[in-house]
Amino acid sequence: MLLSPRILARLRESIENAMKDAREETSADSGATLADLAHAVREACNDSISSVVRAIEAGPFQIPEEIWGLIWSSLPLADLVTATHVCRAWRAAALDIPALWTEIVIMPKRHASTCDCAPCSASATAHDRPCTLNTRRLAVLLNRSRGAPLDVCIYMWHATDLLNDDGSFALICSMLGQHSSRLVSLEARLSSGNLLHGLMMSLNSLPLLRCLLLRASGSTNLSSLPLVAMPKLATLRTGPSVLWDALITTAPALLAVSVSVQTVTELVNVLSSVPALRDLELYLGMQHWSGTAAELAAITQRCGNLQLLKILSVSPSITASQLSVLVPLGIGEVCINASFEDLVPDPTIVLFTLTHLSGSIHLTFESEGEPIPRKFNVIARDEHRTRRLELPAGWLGARSFPRIWTQISTSSIVFMDVPWAYRTLVLATNAAFPALEHLVITPEWLNRTRWRPYLRSAISPYGPAHLAQYQQP
């Protein structure tokens, strides 16, 4: 049996006292001293057994709150309400931890296939069956979370999600409005701008809100949303469905914004609304740059203070001068993400613009929402010296690569990673890169053989190029 440190200390003290008394007392009194010692040992053992029993009875309550969250998140449960049905101890522990009930997801649920109500009987397909929102479950979660901060997600993306709605969405808006002062994160993906307007209208107080994501399947304007004061809002993501046709003055602490802009004026509105902006994510839908010189200068000045700029859609007609307005010298990091199936800007324009910048620049392509391994990187350029350059195989055609190569050869590239297909041109023109220190040429079979050989070369800025031997990683 394992004894607790407190009981061991008591037992050790009793033994020391008994031995001291035995040395000082006469032999006639030694029996009484030993009896006292035996009594102290029995008492210590009983206390230890009692402590073990109490620990077993109070086990769930001694587990930290974050551990309970990890336990329940790994179980195949529908939600935390199911966890409270396991046993009485689990239920008592769960109800005693308000933080476990603060993540609320509201999604529509269609009527069962056995439902014989009038709307279901008239539905042609299962997808046309009416949806219901479980307002009773929402009330339970709000009650159990007590005064803890809330993280709420609402998903009603399709128009059929509100087919034959019985007023449950309005009731949910009303219930959330009563607890809006506890919201720290709100994600709303709704099927129309009217629903988005109704939701924001019900939230009359958002003093703790730090993250807000708004999406609508149809286009809506920012000026139509009744946004209240959000003094702690740090992240606002509206995506391509909400157009910034007005300034935001209710969120002075904004640091990160994800928006869609169709005109230069809208982009100026975004940058003017957020004076402390650090991270900007743009859905760039502008086909024509018709802004004034003052507007373009304001854009360049504000973008120069950004730490991260992500451009998630790029018009094929964009020019190098227009791109340089968004990506001025001195910006921290730039990421340009374009659809691989659509037309993308001329690689010459992209390379010519990005290779003259500082910071980290990434150009990636996506196919059906999944990133594919094709990217162009210029990483950590300090004092006009490009530290790293990566060129993907297949992105640049055999005809366009020599033309682009002559344009980027003037930059001070230190590290370069190029495909095997361009090895001849790269090695023949390495003298145009006086600062080049390391060159990696990746064979096409790199990821298709068990040996995975690779070529590596260290190039001296004053001498010819020498390829190293094959090496095994």
- Cα 8 to its chain centre, rounded Å, is 50
Q: Residue 207: what pLDDT?
A: 92
Higher pLDDT among residues 372 and 223, named by residue:
223
Burial annotation 387-424 (CB, 10 A radius, 16+ → b, else e):
bbbbbbeebbeeeebeebbeebeebebbbbebbebbbe
Structure tokens at 218: 């149809």
Query: Within a domain: residue 359?
Result: no
List of E strands, 279-358: 279-284, 308-313, 333-339
Query: Within a domain: residue 96?
Result: no
- How do residues 1-22 score in pLDDT, each as one tens digit? 455 566 667 667 766 776 666 6
CA distances from 166 to 133, 140, 253 (A): 9, 20, 38
Higher pLDDT among residues 196 and 41, named by residue:
196
- How far, in Å, CA of 354 to CA of 393, rounded? 19
Contact (CB, 8 A) for 18 and 39:
no
Contact (CB, 8 A) for 310 and 359:
no
Amino acid symbol at 197: H
Q: Residue 365: what pLDDT?
A: 46
Q: Residue 22: what pLDDT?
A: 60
- How far, in Å, CA of 442 to CA of 416, rounded? 11
Can you tell me the mean pLDDT for 174-201? 89
- How do residues 129-176 score in pLDDT, each as one tens digit? 656 667 777 888 888 888 889 999 888 776 555 544 557 788 888 999
> Per the structure, how many domains does the chain have?
2
- How far, in Å, CA of 276 to CA of 323, rounded? 22
Q: Residue 209: what pLDDT?
A: 93
Structure tokens at 161: 């999600």
Query: Within a domain: residue 80?
Result: no
pTM above 0.85, yes or no: no
Q: Residue 182: what pLDDT?
A: 93
Query: Within a domain: residue 325?
Result: no
pLDDT of residue 179 exceeding 80:
yes
Lowest mean pLDDT among 231-245, 249-263, 416-430: 416-430
- How far, in Å, CA of 202 to CA of 209, rounded? 15
Query: Within a domain: residue 342?
Result: no
pLDDT of residue 196 exceeding 60:
yes
pLDDT of residue 185 exceeding 90:
yes
Q: Residue 462: what pLDDT?
A: 31
Higher pLDDT among residues 106 and 123, named by residue:
106
pLDDT band at 184 (very low <50, low <70, confident <90, very high): very high
Can you tell me the mean pLDDT for 100-107? 82
Query: Within a domain: residue 387?
Result: yes
**Domain that includes residue 393, residue range:** 382-473
Higher pLDDT among residues 321 and 365, named by residue:
321
- How do residues 275-302 score in pLDDT, each as one tens digit? 888 888 887 777 667 778 888 888 888 8
**Residue 340 carries which DSSP code?**
S
CA distances from 367 to 285, 340, 374, 395 (A): 19, 6, 11, 14
Percent of the chain at pLDDT exceeding 90:
5
Mean pLDDT of the chain: 69
Query: Within a domain: residue 287?
Result: no
- How far, in Å, CA of 212 to CA of 230, rounded? 10
- Residue 26: other Cβ atoms inside 10 A: 7
- How far, in Å, CA of 96 to CA of 160, rounded? 39
pLDDT band at 220 (very low <50, low <70, confident <90, very high): confident
Query: Within a domain: residue 167?
Result: no
